[in-house]
Amino acid sequence: MLRRHWLAAVLLLAGLALRALAQIAYRPALFYIDSTRYLYHADGNDPVGYRLPLKIILIFSSINEVAVVQHLLGLALAVALYWILLRRGCPRWLAALAIAPVLLDAYQLQIEQTIMPDVWFEALIVAGIAVLLWRPRPGWRAVIAAGILLGSSATIRQVGEILLLPALAYVLLTAGGWRRRAGYAAAACAAFVVPILGYSSLSYALTGHFWLSHSGATSTYGRMAAAADCRRLRLPADERGLCPTPAQQATGPDQLEHSPRSPLRPYYAHLPSGEASRLVADFNRQVLTQQPLNAARGVGRDALKLFALTRTTSPGDTPISRWQFQDSYPTYPPHASRQVIAAAGRSLGGGGPAVNRPLAAFLRGYQLRGGYTPGPLLAVAALAGLIGSASLARRRRTAQPNQDALPGQPDQDALPGQPDQDALPGQPDQDALPGQPDQDALPGRQAATACFGFFATSVAVLVTSDLFQFSWRYQLPALVTLPPAGALGIAVIIRAAGARRAVRTSRAGRTA
């Protein structure tokens, strides 16, 4: 097995070594601004489903072991992605390259070392996709399990609510006849809602509020205020104060939402919360309806930052330094000051804040000098994923038997002499003509549908995150969705090129 999968094994070993260095370099696990709210039930905007795995780990160990578990989870993500890619017909070398980003990207390492929920969010995304993609056609149990896993991601980060759409699209694409499509879609929706309803019900029992999080109108205010052209915006008099000055707009969506100097603050300081939220929501609606292109341009500019050659902080962005290793132990007063971290180390185990400077300097140098996934590589993966997904439309149009094929000729999507090692006996294709093979069981279509699953998930979660604000932290799900989509897209392109060569060779032989 090591001989066959040597490249993946080498990358996995390198990822393990980097994670061991991060674990030794910082004690206890790194804290961010929001870390204390997960440890001590402090208030905040995001859902707090992360508290569940955090509590389970802390019952048996200390804060340091939280990072250990998260590092192991990062390695498990790579292994799961690798096997899914192989099952869907991706060559071993290409599947190995697709998992390199999640194994070697220093921003992924840093977030795994931090008391933050992001790696668990990635894990639920990958688990949901893996369950759906394990067989050419997912069955009832797979659809329900994937719905529960993807719905659970919304209890970790609320942006996970959008994952219902790509899951539904995949189910409708692969389910077969329209009755099965309708039944599977209903099952996926019901399963997706179960963990969200459970979380909200528990929230109601504990706080009296039936919601996933406290975020409301203010979560989109930063984006809308940054995009607004207040000179041309028609607003009621009681909403004019929400228009930022040019200097305030230059601080970006994050500061417009959270800064004490934001135009929001006087409203929530002097008005009842419900009235302030109503005014803010109407302001957001006015900007979106009167100046939709301004908002779209802001989202588009931020979405393209993922594909930049280097990772830097643009004016108005959340500082990228928050997601970079530092030479000293990083703190973010008052929520993650040295005193708070020391107190957590004493009460939960792990010791006070300390750093191994040589190792920290190495990790920082690695991260700043190219130890991350280059934006152009992600752009290539996105393009290949788009091409692989788009090939499904062509395959649907050409699903009739190939009139040019010789009797008994093997499937043109398969490489010459290569049997389909990954295909499992599938359910019959409800849309197929009598005697026609199940199109979804063909190797080329397996790769294309899996490519669509990863690509649609990536677009959904990344674009939805950018609708609110840009942060390099929110781009991390790209590491577990775009490279696999790109690898599968390239596999589809390789198979298509091989099929065309086989057809030309066959026609040339008959002509001769």
Question: Residue 334, exposed/middle/buried by CB under 10 A (0-12, 13-18, 19+)?
Answer: exposed
Greatest extent of the chain over all pairs of C-alpha atoms, in Å: 88
* Residue-level pLDDT at 194: 96
Mean of the per-residue pLDDT values of the chain: 87
Per-residue pLDDT tens over the stretch 155-168: 999 999 999 999 99
SS3 at position 326: coil
Nearest to 299 by CA among 288, 283, 313: 288
* Residue-level pLDDT at 403: 36
DSSP of 137-190: S--HHHHHHHHHHHHHHTTT-GGGGGGHHHHHHHHHHHS-SHHHHHHHHHHHHH
pTM, two decimal places: 0.88
Q: What are phi and psi of 336, to 5 degrees?
A: -135, 50
Q: Could you give the CA distance from residue 285 to residue 33 in angstroms, rounded to a whole number?
A: 30
* Residue-level pLDDT at 423: 39
* Residue-level pLDDT at 390: 93
Q: Could you give the CA distance from residue 280 to residue 173 in angstroms, rounded to a whole number?
A: 39
Q: Which residue has the tokens 């003509």?
A: 433
- CB-CB contact of 287 with 261 (8 Å): no
Query: In tens digits, what is the pLDDT along the chain, a chain of 512 residues?
Result: 888 999 999 999 999 999 999 999 999 999 998 898 898 876 666 788 999 999 999 999 899 999 999 999 999 999 999 999 999 999 999 999 999 999 999 999 999 999 999 999 999 999 999 999 999 889 999 999 999 999 999 999 999 999 999 999 999 999 878 889 999 999 999 999 999 999 999 888 887 788 887 666 678 899 999 999 999 999 999 999 999 999 999 888 988 988 888 998 899 888 888 898 899 999 999 999 999 999 999 999 999 999 999 998 888 888 999 999 999 999 988 888 899 899 988 888 888 899 999 999 999 999 999 999 999 999 999 999 999 999 988 755 555 444 333 344 444 333 334 444 333 334 444 444 444 444 555 567 889 999 999 999 999 999 999 998 899 999 999 999 999 999 999 999 998 888 787 777 777 777 76
* H or E element in which residue 253 lies: helix 252-258
Q: Is the torsion defined by CA of 201, 202, 205, 211 positive or negative?
A: negative
Q: Could you give the CA distance from residue 338 to residue 491 in angstroms, rounded to a whole number?
A: 50
* Residue-level pLDDT at 416: 38
- C-alpha pair distances (Å), 365 with each of 46, 368, 370, 371, 472: 32, 5, 9, 8, 18
Rg (CA), the chain: 25
Q: What is the DSSP letter of 306?
A: G
Q: Which two tokens stand for residue 210?
A: 């039936």
* Residue-level pLDDT at 368: 95
* H or E element in which residue 26 lies: strand 26-27
* H or E element in which residue 223 lies: helix 218-227
Q: Could you give the CA distance from residue 482 to residue 138 in angstroms, rounded to a whole number?
A: 22
